[in-house]
C-alpha cells in the first residue's frame, strides 16, 4: 500500500438526506449499500462453506474404509459434484465478492459501488442460482452426478436435475458477470482524486484483473451448458459423433472457462495476502509493481493453457507440447509473487497474530500446491497423474490451505474493523493450529494415493489404498470440526468479542497500509461521501 | 476395538513415514514395466527433486526470517521495498529451470506418440461398466467384467472386502498380451467417455464414443498388471478394473488358439438341472445385470426398475426373453447371450430367492434359441437347433420386434 | 445537466429483487416444462411477465431519476462502462458458438472421416475408422446422417439481403445519433424509425428463411452438426436482433417524448452500441456460416 489519507472528512454530505439502513428484514432484501451487500455475501458464503464441507465429509466418511458403507455410488457421485459446485460457486467466489464489496469502495475512497442496484441483483441472482442447484438434491434421479465438469455424454444421463443444473449455471453466470462489471466500473470510475491505479492496494488490483477474467469466462460456461441443453432437448449434435460433433469439444469449451475459473479463486487470494503480510511484517510490500504485472501475466496466461486438463483425451503432439510449455510458464509470475512475499517478510519486524499465521501458512502450502501443478503441467507425466488423487491433492492444496485459509485470514484481519470488536486471539490461534495440522493430514496422503494408482471420483477402492484413505478421512473430520471454531468466533465477535473496543487502526500502524484503517471501527453506514484526499506516503 | 487398533497403526506409520505393510504398494509413482514407464518415472523424479530443492530454498529463507526477524526478538523492520536486480534474477532462474525440464519432457511426449510400426493391434471399447477387447489380428474378442468375488463383496455389506483377493482390481477375463512386442491399442467407447489406465504401462488414454484414440506399449517382463477406468463414467465407474497378463510369445500363441476354439464353440443345448441353471444364471446376472438392477433385484428408484416382484419378470416368459434380448433406449440389449447363459439367466431372475422371485419354473437352453443372431456367431448352431427341434424341445420365442412394441 | 455534484447512490433496490424472483420462476418453469411437467409452461410465463414488468419499472425509475438531474457525470460513466462490459460478455458468448463451428469443421469432422490433415496427426487420432464410408466434407450431418438429407443454406438469397438491411440500419442509427447531437428532432425520430423498421424487417426475413429451411430444404436444428451450428448461431443472433429492436423502440418512444438531450442520452447510446454489436456479429455470421 502506498498512500494514506491526509485528512478525513467525517461530516455527512448534507446535499442529499442520508438514509441510514432500512428497518427490519427489508434492510437486507432491498439494500443497495455496499457494506450490507458485502455482509450478505460473506454470511451466505460462510453458510455454503459448511454445506459444501458437510458434503465433503460424506465423501470422506464413505472413503474411510474400503467397501460401500453409507451411500449409494450414484449419491456419492452427486456429493462429489455438488461439493465442488457449492464450494466453488457458493463459498469461495461469493466470499471474495463479499470482500470486494466491503473493501474496494473503502480502499479507493469511493462512497459506494458504482451500480448499487445491480449490486443487489447480483447477490440475489447468486442465491437464486444456488437454490436451483440445491433443489436438484430432492429430484427424481438425484442431483447431477457427472462431476463439476459436466462432461457429456455422461451428463446427459442425469435425471430431472439436468435442466435445473443448466439454468443454475446461467443464473450464477449472470450474477458473476454483473458483480464483475460493477467492480470494474467502481475501480475505474470511483477512485478518490489522487488514488492513481498504481497506488491502489493489491487487493483492488487483483480484483480488477479477476473481474476481467469473470466477464470473459462466465459467458463461455453459459454457452457450453446451453449446448448441453440443446443436445439433450432440441436434437442438436454438438457433442455427438453420429451427427459430426465431438464430446471433446465440450471439454475444450469447459476448460477455456474452467482454467481461468481456478485463477478467479486464487488471484483475490493473492491480493489479500499482499495486503496482510506487510502489516504484520511492518514493512511495505516488496515489489509492488512487479506484483501487479505478475497478476496480469498470470491472468493472461490462464487463457491459453486450458488443454492441460485434457492431455489424455488424444490431442495432437503439437497441441500437447504447446499446452505443456504454456502451462509451465505460469510458474514464473507465480514464483515472482512467492519470492516477493518472502522478501516482504525478510528483515521485517514480524508478529504472528491469527491473520498473519494463516497468511504464512498460505504462502507455504499454496507453493506446495503450485509445485504439484507444475508436475502435472509436464504432459507426459500427466499421463500417469491425470484423474487420480494426486490431482485431488493438488487442487485442494491450492484451494483449501490457500483460498480458504486466506479467507479466514481476511476474516480475522477485517472483523475488528467491520464490527468494532476484537475477536478472541486465543481461540483464533487454536483454530489456526488445528486447521494447519489437520489440513495436511487430510490432503498430504492423497499425493501418495494418487501416485500409487487410486483414481478420483470412486466411492470404493482396492485394499492397498485403505490406510492412507483412513488417515485422510481422520484429517477431514478434525479439519471440518475445527472450522466450527471460526463460526463461533464470527458470531462471538459480532456480539462483542473480547469486549475490548478496537481503535480505528486496529493493527499497529495499519493506517500506513490502507484507507480502511483511517475510518472509525465500525465504519459509518456511508463512507467517503466526500472523497478523501490521497497523498503519497514516503515509501513510494 | 479392531478399528481403534487400525487407527493407531495408521497414525504410527504416518508419524514415521514408513509407508504401509502392503508389499505391492508404494508411496511414489511406480516404475512400471515398459520403456515408456521408466522414462516417465525418471522425468517424474527429476521434477519432484527440482521442486523439493526450490522448496527448501524458499521455505528455508522464509523460516529463517520468521525465526530471526520477529518483533519479539526486538528486530527492527527495514523499509526496503524494491530491488530490480533480484527481481530479474528470480525471474530468470526459474525460466532456465523450466527450460531444463521441458527438454526431456518434449522427448517423452514424442515417444508416447510413436504408435507406428506396431506388431499387433488391440481395439478396446469402454462400456458402462466393463471393457471389451478385440484383437484385430487374430479375431479374439471378449468382454472383461469385474470378477464375481469383488462384485458380491462391494454389493453385500456383510462381506468384508479385506477378505477378497485383489478386491476391485480383478476381472473375469483378463487381457492377454505377449511380452516384448510392440502393441498398438485403439480406444473407443460405446456410451460415455471412459479411460484405460494400467499404471505399470506408464499411461492412460481416454476412450471417447465415436472417436478412436491410439497408444502403444511393449511390456518388458511377464506378469499380471492391474489398473482401473479413470474417467468418471457413471454409477459404477469405480467398478470397471483392467487386468493385463503379459506372457512369453509361445504361451500367448497357445492362449490365442484355445480362446479362438472356445469362442467358436456352440452353446450347450442339453437339458440342464435346475440347480445348474440357477448357478449359471447367477453368474450371468452378476456380470450383466447387477450394475443396474442390483444384487437384491430392487433396482435404484428413479433410475432402474426393480426386478423383484416385477410383473414383466414373473409374467409371460417369452415376452421377458424378448425384452431382455431387445433392450430399450435406456437398457442395453443382450442379443448375444448364448442360449445356455440366457436360459440360466431367465431361470435365475424368475426363481432366485436373491431377487425375491419364485415362479417355480425353469427355462431350458433349447427354449432360449431364437436363431436370430446365432448363425454367424456359432456356425454349428444349425445342427444344434435341429437337434432341439427333433427332440421337440425347441420353442423359439416370439418375434423380437413384436415384444419390443409391447414393452 | 445534472444539478448534483455528488455521485448518486440509490437506497432501495425493490425492482431488481423482484426481477430476480421473476427470472428464477421463469427458468424453474422452463426446466419443469422440459422435464415434461404440465405446470412448467404456466410458471415460465408468469415468471417471464414478472421479470419483464419489473425490469420495466426499474428502467422507468432510472429514466425518471436521470431526467430529474440526479445523475452526475460520474454516474453516466459508470453506466457506459457497464454497457460496454456487458456487450463484451455477449461477444464472448457468441465466441463459444463460433468456436464450436470452427472446431467441428476443422477438427471433429476430419477426425471422424479419418482424414490426414493439420490436426489429425498425433497420439490418439487414428486412421482406423469407426465410420466406414464417411467422407469428411462440410456441410455435414455427420456419419450417422442425423436428421436425414438436407440442403445447406446458400449465402446469396435472403441472407445477403439481410446483410444489406442490417448494415443500412447501422447507418440510420448513426444518422439518428447525429440528429440528436444536432438537436434535430426530426432526424432523430426518422432515423430511429428507419432503424427499428429495418430491424424488424430483418427478423421477418430470417423467419422466412427458417420456414424455408424447415419446410423445403430439410434443414433443421437436428440436421447434425451443420444444423446445430447454423441454427444456434443465427438463432441467438436473431434473438439479439429482436431484443435490440425492442430496446430501440423504447428509445424511439422516449425520443418522441423528448427525454434526451445532446448531453444526456445514455439510453440512446447504449441501445446504439448494442445495435452495432448485433451488426458486427451478423457480419461474422455471414462470412463464417453462409459464405465459407
Ligand atoms: C486455485 C486453484 C488452482 C491454482 C492456483 C492452480 C495452479 C496451477 N495448476 Fe491446477 N488445478 C486446479 C486448481 C488450481 N490450480 C483444479 C481445481 C484442478 C482440477 C480440476 C478438475 O479436474 O476437477 C486443477 C488441475 C490442474 C491440471 C490438470 C491435471 C489433470 O487433470 O491431469 C494441471 C496440469 O497442468 C494443473 C496445473 C497447474 C499449474 C501449473 C498451476 C500454477 O499456477 C502453479 C504455479 C505455482 C508454482 C509453480 C509455485 C510457486 C513458484 C515458485 C516458488 C517459483 C519457482 C518454481 C519453479 C520454476 C518450479 N492444474
Ligand atoms: C473451493 C473449493 C473446494 C473446497 C474448499 C474443498 C474442500 C474440501 N474438499 Fe473438495 N473438491 C473441490 C473443491 C473444493 N473442496 C472440487 C472442485 C472437487 C472436484 C469435484 C469433481 O471431481 O467433480 C473436489 C473433490 C473432493 C474430493 C474427491 C472426491 C472424488 O473424487 O470422489 C474429496 C475427497 O476427499 C474432497 C474433500 C474435501 C474436503 C475434506 C474439504 C474440506 O476442506 C472441507 C472442510 C469441511 C468443513 C468445513 C465441514 C464443516 C462442517 C461441519 C463441521 C458440520 C457442521 C454442520 C453444519 C453447521 C450444518 N473434495
Ligand atoms: Cu468407465 Cu469410468
Ligand atoms: Cu488448469
- C9-25 confidence digits (pLDDT tens): 887 878 899 999 999 99
d(CA C234, CA B72): 68
Angle at which helices A331-345 and B35-68 cross, to 10°: 20
User: Do residues C54 and C6 both lie within one domain?
Assistant: yes
- The C-alpha cell at B243 is 487386468
User: pLDDT tens digit string along A81-114?
Assistant: 999 999 999 999 999 999 999 999 999 988 899 9
The number of the ligand 2 atom at minimal distance from the alpha carbon of A483 is 48
pLDDT of residue C118: 54
Q: Look at residues C71, C104, C125 and tell me which one is the last residue of a structural domain.
A: C71
- Kind and range of the H or E run holding A28: helix A26-29
Q: Is A304 helix (H, G, I), strand (E, B) or coil?
A: coil
Burial-class residue B69 by CB neighbours within 10 Å (0-12, 13-18, 19+). Answer: buried
Q: Are A312 and A383 in contact (CB under 8 A)?
A: yes
The full DSSP string for B30-94 is: ---SBHHHHHHHHHHHHHHHHHHHHHHHHHHHHHHHHHHSBGGGTPPPP-----HHHHHHHHHHH
Q: In terms of DSSP H, where are the helices of A378-424?
A: 379-385, 389-398, 405-419
Q: Which candidate, A485, A245, A241, places its Cα nearest to that of A358?
A: A485
Catalytic residue, candidates A62, A261, A320, A516: A261
pLDDT of residue B391: 63
Last residue of a domain, which of C71, C87, C106?
A: C71
Higher per-residue pLDDT: C167 or B7: C167
**What 3-state DSSP class applies to B223?**
strand
The count of C-alpha atoms lying within 13 angstroms of the C-alpha of C170, restricted to the half-sphere facing its C-beta, is: 16
Nearest by Cα to A146 from A166, A129, A128: A166
Asked if the model's pLDDT at residue C94 lies above 60, the reply is yes
One domain, residues C80 and C184: yes
Task: Map residue B189 onto helix, strand or coil.
Answer: strand
> What is the DSSP track for A120-184?
HHHHHHHHHHHHHHHHGGGSTT-S--STTTT-TTGGGG--THHHHHHHHHHHHHHHHHHHHHHHH
DSSP H or E run through A207: helix A202-233
Residue C109 CB neighbours (<10 A): 26
Contact B212 C128 (CB under 8 A): yes
pLDDT of amino acid B199: 94
pLDDT band at residue C114, thresholds of 50, 70 and 90? confident
Mean pLDDT, rounded, for A323-327 = 96
Mark out the alpha helices in C14-112 (DSSP H runs): 14-34, 40-67, 73-103, 109-112
- Show residues of chain C in contact with B215, CB under 8 Å: 123-124
Q: CB distance from B210 to chain C under 8 Å?
A: yes
Q: Sheet containing B175-178: which strands, arranged edge to edge?
A: B175-178, B241-247, B223-229, B194-198, B203-207
In this complex, do C58 and A117 lie within 8 Å of one another by their Cβ atoms?
A: yes
Among the listed residues A80, A145, A176, A210, the single catalytic one is A176
Q: Which three cell numbers stand for residue A276?
A: 496482510
Whether residue A261 lies in the annotated active site: yes
Q: What is the pLDDT of residue B317?
A: 83
> Is beta strand B130-135 parallel, antiparallel or unpaired with respect to B120-127?
antiparallel
pLDDT at C126: 63
Which cell numbers in the block locate residue A33? 449499500
Question: Ion ligand 4 — residues with CB under 5 Å?
Answer: A 259
Would you call A266 exposed, middle or buried from its count of C-beta atoms within 10 A (0-12, 13-18, 19+)?
A: buried
Torsion, Cα A490 A491 A494 A500, to 10 degrees, reads: -80
Examine the pLDDT at A115 and tell me if it is beyond 50: yes
10 Å Cβ neighbour count for A230? Answer: 20
Residue where a domain stops, chosen among C30, C46, C71: C71
B108 touches chain C (CB under 8 A): no
Number of cross-chain residue pairs from A and C with Cβ atoms under 8 Å apart: 247
pLDDT digits (tens, 9 = 90+) for A491-538: 999 998 788 888 888 898 888 888 888 888 889 888 887 778 775 553
Is A16 marked active-site? no
pLDDT at residue number A476: 96
pLDDT tens readout for residues C49-70: 999 999 888 888 888 887 777 8
Q: Which residues contact A251 (CB under 8 A, 6 or more apart)?
A: A149, A151, A309, A310, A313
- CA of A309 from ligand 4 middle (Å) equals 6
Q: What value does the mean pLDDT take over residues A250-255?
A: 96
**Angle made by CA atoms A30, A36, A37, in degrees to the nearest 5:** 75
Q: What is the CATH number of the domain that holds C13?
A: 1.10.287
What pLDDT, on the 0 to 100 scale, is given for residue A27?
84
Whether C81 and A189 have beta carbons less than 8 Å apart is answered as yes
> Which of A47, A57, A79, A83 has most ligand 2 atoms within 8 Å of CB, for mutation?
A83
CA distance B84 to B80: 12
- C57 and C133 housed in the same domain: no
Cα of A294 vs centre of ligand 4, distance in Å, is: 17
pLDDT band at A444 (very low <50, low <70, confident <90, very high): very high
**Do C31 and C80 belong together in one domain?**
no
Q: How many CB atoms lie within 10 A of CB B318?
A: 16
Distance B229 CA to ligand 3 centre (A): 4
Could you tell me what percentage of chain C is helix, strand and coil, using 3-state DSSP and rounding each to the nearest 5? 70, 0, 30
What is chain B's pLDDT, residue by residue, as a tens digit (407 residues)? 444 445 444 444 444 444 444 445 568 888 889 999 999 999 999 999 999 999 999 999 999 999 999 988 888 888 888 889 999 999 999 999 999 999 999 999 999 988 888 899 999 999 989 999 999 989 899 999 999 889 888 888 788 888 888 999 999 999 999 999 999 999 999 999 999 999 999 999 999 999 999 999 999 999 999 999 999 999 999 999 999 999 999 999 999 999 998 887 777 777 788 888 898 899 899 888 988 898 888 888 878 899 998 888 888 888 888 888 888 878 888 877 888 888 899 999 998 888 888 888 888 877 776 545 444 545 555 666 666 666 655 555 444 334 444 43
My answer on whether C105 and C248 are in the same domain is yes
CA A80, CA B30: separation in Å to the nearest integer?
Answer: 27
**Confidence band of A477 (pLDDT split at 50, 70, 90):** very high
Q: In the prediction, which pLDDT does B337 show?
A: 82
C153 and C281: one domain? yes
**What's the CA gap between C223 and C229, in Å, rounded?**
10
Q: Catalytic: which of A232, A259, A283, A513?
A: A259
Pick the atom of ligand 1 nearest to A367's CA.
49
- Whether residues C204 and C260 fall in one domain: yes
Torsion on CA atoms C273, C275, C280, C282, rounded to nearest 10: 160
User: How many Cβ atoms are within 10 Å of B83's Cβ, its own excluded?
Assistant: 12
Range B269-273 contact pairs with CB under 8 angstroms and sequence separation of 24 or more: B269/B339, B269/B340, B269/B365, B269/B366, B269/B369, B269/B384, B269/B387, B269/B388, B270/B365, B271/B364, B271/B365, B271/B366, B271/B393, B272/B340, B272/B343, B272/B344, B272/B364, B272/B365
CATH number at residue C109: 1.20.120.80
Give the residue-averaged pLDDT of A65-75.
Answer: 90
Query: How far apart are the C-alpha atoms of A414 and A100, rounded to whole Å?
Result: 12
Residue A304 pLDDT:
95
Domain count, chain C: 2
CA of B168 to the centre of ligand 2 (A): 25
Distance of CA C180 to the CA centre of its chain: 26
C93 contacts A115? CB cut-off 8 A: no
Helix, strand, or coil (residue B175): strand
- Give the distance from residue B143's alpha carbon to the nearest chain A alpha carbon, in angstroms: 21
How far is C-alpha B386 from the chain's CA centre?
39
**Do residue C218 and residue C233 come from a single domain?**
yes
User: What is the Cα B105 distance to its own chain's centre?
Assistant: 29
CA distance A35 to A40: 9
Q: What three-state secondary structure class fits B127?
A: strand
Q: How far apart are CA A313 and CA C125, in angstroms?
A: 10
Q: Are A162 and A232 in contact (CB under 8 A)?
A: yes
CA-to-CA dists, residue C244 to A222, C54, C95, C173, C274, angstroms: 21, 19, 19, 12, 7
Across the beta sheet with B141-144, the strand order is B141-144, B130-135, B120-127, B183-189, B213-217
Q: What is the pLDDT of residue B386?
A: 65
Are C85 and C48 contained in the same domain? no
Write out the DSSP string of B296-357: TS--BTTTB---TT-HHHHS-HHHHHHHHHH--SSS---TT--HHHHHHHHHHHHH-TTTT-
Closest C-alpha to ligand 1, atom 37: A373
ipTM of this complex prediction, to 2 decimal places: 0.91
Determine the Cα angle at C38 with ends C37 and C41, to 5°: 100
pLDDT exceeds 70 at position A452: yes
Residues C177 and C231 in one domain: yes
**pTM (predicted TM-score):** 0.93
Higher pLDDT, residue A17 or A19? A19
Q: Is the distance from the beta carbon of residue A281 to the nearest atom of ligand 1 less than 6 Å?
A: no
A116-135 and A34-62 helices cross at what angle (nearest 10)? 20
Q: How far apart are CA A268 and CA A100, in angstroms?
A: 9
Omega before residue C213 within 30° of 0, cis = no
Tell me what pLDDT residue C63 has.
Answer: 80
C156 plus C258 within the same structural domain? yes
The answer to whether B102 and A328 have CB atoms below 8 angstroms apart is: yes
Q: Are residues C94 and C58 in the same domain?
A: no
pLDDT digits (tens, 9 = 90+) for C206-252: 999 999 999 999 999 999 999 999 999 999 999 999 999 999 999 99
Q: Report CB contact under 8 Å: C142, A237.
A: yes
For residue B206, give the chain C residue with the closest CA. Answer: C124
All three cell numbers of C38, joined, read: 404440465
Q: Domain limits at C241?
A: 74-291
Domains of chain A as residue ranges with CATH: 3-14+23-536 (1.20.210.10)
Amino acid at each position: 500500500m502506498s498512500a494514506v489519507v491526509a485528512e478525513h472528512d467525517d461530516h455527512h454530505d448534507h446535499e442529499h438526506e442520508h438514509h441510514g439502513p432500512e428497518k427490519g428484514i427489508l434492510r437486507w432484501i432491498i439494500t443497495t449499500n455496499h457494506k450490507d451487500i458485502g455482509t450478505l455475501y460473506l454470511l451466505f458464503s460462510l453458510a455454503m462453506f459448511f454445506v459444501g464441507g458437510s458434503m465433503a465429509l460424506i465423501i470422506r466418511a464413505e472413503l474411510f474404509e474400503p467397501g460401500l458403507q453409507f451411500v449409494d455410488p450414484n449419491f456419492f457421485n452427486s456429493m462429489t459434484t455438488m461439493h465442488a459446485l457449492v464450494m466453488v460457486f457458493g463459498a469461495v467466489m461469493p466470499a471474495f465478492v463479499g470482500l470486494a464489496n466491503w473493501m474496494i469502495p473503502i480502499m479507493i475512497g469511493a462512497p459506494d459501488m458504482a451500480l448499487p442496484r445491480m449490486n443487489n441483483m447480483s447477490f440475489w441472482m447468486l442465491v437464486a442460482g444456488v437454490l436451483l442447484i440445491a433443489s436438484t438434491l430432492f429430484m427424481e434421479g438425484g442431483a447431477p452426478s457427472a462431476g463439476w465438469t459436466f462432461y457429456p455424454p455422461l451428463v446427459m444421463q442425469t435425471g430431472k436435475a439436468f435442466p435445473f443444473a443448466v439454468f443454475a449455471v446461467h443464473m450464477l453466470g449472470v450474477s458473476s458477470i454483473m458483480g464483475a462489471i460493477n467492480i470494474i466500473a467502481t475501480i475505474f470510475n470511483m477512485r478518490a482524486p489522487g488514488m492513481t491505479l498504481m497506488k491502489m492496494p493489491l487487493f483492488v488490483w487483483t480484483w480488477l484483473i479477476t473481474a476481467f477474467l469473470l466477464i470473459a469466462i462466465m459467458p463461455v460456461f453459459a454457452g457450453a451448458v446451453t449446448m448441453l441443453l440443446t443436445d439433450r432437448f432440441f436434437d442438436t449434435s454438438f457433442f455427438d459423433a453420429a451427427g459430426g460433433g465431438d464430446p471433446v469439444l465440450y471439454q475444450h469449451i469447459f476448460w477455456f472457462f474452467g482454467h481461468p475459473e481456478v485463477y478467479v479463486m486464487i488471484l483475490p487470494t493473492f491480493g489479500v495476502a499482499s495486503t496482510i503480510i506487510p502489516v504484520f511484517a511492518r514493512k511495505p510490500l516488496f515489489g509492488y509493481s512487479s506484483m501487479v504485472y505478475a497478476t496480469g501475466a498470470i491472468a493472461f496466461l490462464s487463457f491459453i493453457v486450458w488443454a492441460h486438463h485434457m492431455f489424455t483425451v488424444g490431442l495432437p503432439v503439437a497441441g500437447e507440447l504447446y499446452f505443456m510449455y504454456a502451462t509451465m510458464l505460469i510458474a514464473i509470475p507465480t514464483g515472482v509473487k512467492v519470492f516477493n512475499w518472502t522478501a516482504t517478510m525478510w528483515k521485517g519486524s514480524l508478529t504472528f497474530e491469527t491473520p498473519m499465521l494463516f497468511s504464512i501458512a498460505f504462502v507455504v502450502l499454496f507453493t506446495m500446491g503450485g509445485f504439484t501443478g507444475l508436475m502435472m503441467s509436464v504432459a507426459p507425466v500427466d499421463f500417469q497423474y491425470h484423474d487420480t488423487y494426486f490431482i485431488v491433492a493438488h487442487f485442494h492444496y491450492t484451494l483449501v490451505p490457500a483460498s480458504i485459509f486466506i479467507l479466514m485470514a481476511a476474516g480475522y484481519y477485517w472483523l475488528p474493523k467491520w464490527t468494532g470488536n476484537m475477536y478472541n486471539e486465543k481461540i483464533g490461534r487454536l483454530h489456526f493450529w488445528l486447521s494447519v495440522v489437520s489440513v495436511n493430514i487430510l490432503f498430504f496422503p492423497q499425493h501418495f494415493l494418487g501416485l500409487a494408482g487410486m483414481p478420483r471420483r470412486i466411492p470404493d477402492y482396492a485394499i492397498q489404498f485403505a490406510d492412507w484413505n483412513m488417515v485422510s478421512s481422520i484429517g477431514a473430520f478434525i479439519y471440518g470440526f475445527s472450522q466450527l471454531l471460526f463460526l463461533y468466533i464470527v458470531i462471538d465477535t459480532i456480539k462483542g468479542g473480547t469486549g475490548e473496543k478496537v481503535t480505528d487502526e486496529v493493527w499497529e500502524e495499519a493506517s500506513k497500509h490502507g484507507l480502511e484503517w483511517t475510518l472509525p471501527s465500525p465504519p459509518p453506514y456511508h463512507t467517503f461521501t466526500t472523497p478523501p484526499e490521497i497523498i503519497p506516503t514516503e515509501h513510494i | 476395538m479392531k478399528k481403534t487398533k487400525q487407527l493407531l497403526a495408521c497414525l504410527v506409520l504416518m508419524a514415521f513415514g514408513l509407508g504401509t505393510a502392503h508389499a505391492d504398494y508404494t508411496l511414489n509413482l511406480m516404475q512400471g514395466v515398459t520403456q515408456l514407464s521408466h522414462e516417465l518415472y525418471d522425468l517424474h523424479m527429476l521434477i519432484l527433486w527440482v521442486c523439493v530443492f526450490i522448496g527448501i530454498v524458499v521455505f528455508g529463507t522464509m523460516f529463517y526470517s520468521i525465526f530471526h526477524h520477529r518483533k519479539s526478538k526486538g528486530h527492527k523492520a527495514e523499509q526496503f521495498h524494491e530491488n530490480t536486480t533480484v527481481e530479474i534474477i528470480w525471474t530468470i532462474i526459474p525460466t532456465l529451470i523450466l527450460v531444463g525440464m521441458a527438454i526431456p519432457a518434449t522427448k517423452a511426449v514424442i515417444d508416447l506418440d510413436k504408435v507406428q510400426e506396431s506388431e499387433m493391434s488391440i481395439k478396446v471399447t469402454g462400456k458402462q461398466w466393463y471393457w471389451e477387447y478385440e484383437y484385430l489380428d487374430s479375431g479374439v474378442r471378449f468382454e472383461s467384467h469385474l470378477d464375481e468375488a469383488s462384485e458380491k463383496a462391494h454389493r453385500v455389506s456383510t462381506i468384508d472386502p479385506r477378505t477378497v483377493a485383489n478386491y476391485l482390481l480383478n476381472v473375469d477375463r483378463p487381457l492377454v498380451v505377449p511380452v516384448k512386442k510392440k502393441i498398438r491399442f485403439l480406444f473407443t467407447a460405446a456410451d460415455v467417455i471412459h479411460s484405460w489406465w494400467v499404471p505399470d504401462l506408464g499411461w492412460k488414454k481416454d476412450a471417447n464414443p465415436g472417436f478412436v484414440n491410439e497408444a502403444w506399449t511393449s511390456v518388458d517382463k511377464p506378469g499380471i498388471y492391474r489398473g482401473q477406468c479413470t474417467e468418471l463414467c457413471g454409477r459404477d465407474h469405480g467398478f470397471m478394473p483392467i487386468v493385463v497378463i503379459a506372457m512369453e510369445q509361445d504361451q500367448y500363441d497357445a492362449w490365442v488358439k484355445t480362446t479362438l476354439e472356445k469362442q467358436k464353440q456352440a452353446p450347450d443345448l442339453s437339458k440342464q438341472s435346475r440347480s445348474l441353471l440357477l448357478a449359471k444364471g447367477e453368474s450371468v446376472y452378476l456380470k450383466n445385470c447387477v450394475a443396474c438392477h442390483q444384487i437384491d433385484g430392487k433396482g435404484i428408484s428413479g433410475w432402474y426398475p426393480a426386478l423383484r416382484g416385477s410383473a414383466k419378470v414373473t409374467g409371460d416368459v417369452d415376452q421377458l426373453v424378448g425384452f431382455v434380448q431387445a433392450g430399450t433406449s435406456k437398457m442395453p440389449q443382450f442379443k448375444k447371450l448364448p442360449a445356455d447363459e440366457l436360459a440360466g439367466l431367465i431361470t435365475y431372475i424368475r426363481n432366485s430367492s436373491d431377487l425375491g422371485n419364485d415362479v417355480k419354473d425353469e427355462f431350458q437352453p433349447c427354449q432360449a434359441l431364437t436363431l436370430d443372431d446365432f448363425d454367424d456367431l456359432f456356425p454349428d448352431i444349425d445342427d444344434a437347433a435341429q437337434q432341439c427341434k427333433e427332440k421337440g424341445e425347441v420353442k423359439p420365442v416370439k418375434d423380437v420386434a413384436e415384444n419390443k412394441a409391447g414393452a | 445537466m445534472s444539478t448534483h455534484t455528488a455521485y448518486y447512490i440509490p437506497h432501495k433496490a425493490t425492482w431488481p429483487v423482484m426481477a430476480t424472483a421473476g427470472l428464477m420462476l421463469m427458468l424453474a418453469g422452463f426446466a419443469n416444462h422440459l422435464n415434461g411437467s404440465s405446470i412448467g409452461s404456466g410458471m415460465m410465463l408468469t415468471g417471464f411477465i414478472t421479470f419483464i414488468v419489473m425490469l420495466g419499472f426499474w428502467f422507468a425509475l432510472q429514466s425518471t431519476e436521470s431526467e430529474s438531474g440526479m445523475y452526475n457525470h460520474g454516474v453516466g460513466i459508470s453506466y457506459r462502462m457497464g454497457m460496454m462490459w456487458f456487450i463484451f460478455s455477449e461477444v464472448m458468448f457468441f465466441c463459444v458458438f463460433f468456436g464450436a463451428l470452427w472446431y467441428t469443421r476443422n477438427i471433429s469432422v476430419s477426425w471422424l472421416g479419418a482424414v490426414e490433415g493439420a490436426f489429425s496427426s498425433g497420439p490418439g487420432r487414428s486412421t482406423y475408422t469407426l465410420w466406414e464410408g464417411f467422407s469428411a466434407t462440410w456441410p455435414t450431418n455427420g456419419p450417422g446422417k442425423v436428421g436425414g438429407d438436407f440442403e445447406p443454406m446458400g449465402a446469396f438469397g435472403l441472407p445477403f439481403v439481410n446483410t444489406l438491411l442490417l448494415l443500412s440500419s447501422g447507418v440510420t442509427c448513426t444518422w439518428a445519433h447525429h440528429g440528436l447531437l444536432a438537436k434535430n428532432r426530426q432526424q432523430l425520430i426518422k432515423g430511429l424509425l428507419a432503424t427499428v423498421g429495418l430491424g424488424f424487417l430483418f427478423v421477418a426475413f430470417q423467419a422466412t428463411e427458417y420456414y424455408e429451411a424447415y419446410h423445403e430444404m430439410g434443414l433443421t436444428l437436428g440436421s447434425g452438426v451443420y444444423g446445430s451450428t447454423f441454427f444456434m448461431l443465427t438463432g441467438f443472433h436473431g434473438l439479439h436482433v429482436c431484443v435490440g429492436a425492442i430496446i430501440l423502440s423504447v428509445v424511439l418512444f422516449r425520443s418522441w417524448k423528448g427525454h434526451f438531450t445532446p448531453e444526456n442520452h445514455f439510453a440512446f447510446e447504449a441501445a446504439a452500441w448494442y445495435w452495432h454489436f448485433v451488426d458486427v456479429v451478423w457480419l461474422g455470421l455471414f462470412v463464417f456460416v453462409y459464405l465459407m
